[in-house]
Amino acid sequence: MRFFIELSYNGKDYYGWQIQNKVNSVEEKLEYCLSILLKTPINIVGAGRTDKGVHAKQMFAHFDIEKKISNNFIKKLNIFLPKSIHVFNIFPVKKNVHARFNAISRTYKYYLTYKKNPFFQDFSWYCFYPLNIKRMNEATRILMKYKDFSSFSKKRNEKKNNICEIYDANWLIKNTHFCFTIEANRFLRNMVRSIIGTLVDVGREKISINRFIEIIELKNKDYCSKTIPPACGLFLYKIIYPEDIFL
């Protein structure tokens, strides 16, 4: 039987979601704890791959097992897992439903602050540049007119599918924080942070709105601005699936 697992994690101490040699990953911790408690090797498949230091308010993964999962299993699992990982739910889904490929949309949020505060440093980027949020939102709305985001992809590959559909994107400001929200059917590697870095340059009035459009249309990552430096402000915020995946 296939199960979905819904979880969140603080990514500060992890080299991303995916298992890698000799470094901590969320996937490795989760697989280890599931395998010990269920007394059988468990392989999980995540809905995506967050990078080093990136957090997740909502993440999904799937795994297969023929055993029944008891009602108090989630409580046991959360006791066994590191404090930085919390499981909300484990539930059965239809056969062959895939955590990654069946997702309809994903939403990311990025937080930056213009006021230095040691208690914000793990969850936001301290950006000391003055920013024009009106210009940033004007440029952000332009994103939804395009599908090819090759300019914001980390890897250059002529055969790679760099087509994404952005459903919504905006900047909001509250107190000392700017929050960027973006929802799309899929994201390219490093795409969100590359877009934000370029939008910040628009907000700094380092590049014009017309130049931002040119960068998108050039379809070449060499022309976009530098990726924002830390991953700490980036959260995988929400993943949506069709209702018919559930049993």
What gap in Å lies between CA 6 and CA 87, rounded to an integer?
Answer: 6
Q: What are phi and psi of 148, to 5 degrees?
A: -95, 115
Is 201 annotated as catalytic? no
What gap in Å lies between CA 176 and CA 127, rounded to an integer?
Answer: 11
Please list, in sequence order, all residues whose beta carbon lies within 8 angstroms of the beta carbon of residue 28, skipping any fewer than 6 positions away: 19
Q: Is 14 annotated as a binding residue?
A: no
Q: What is the DSSP string of 208-229?
A: -HHHHHHHHHHT-GGGSPPPPS
What gap in Å lies between CA 39 and CA 90, rounded to an integer?
Answer: 17
Q: What are phi and psi of 234, to 5 degrees?
A: -95, 130
Which of the following is catalytic: 51, 64, 122, 201? Answer: 51
Question: Structure tokens of 29?
Answer: 């911790």
Catalytic positions are: 51
Numbered residues of the known binding site:
108
Numbered residues of the known binding site for substrate:
108
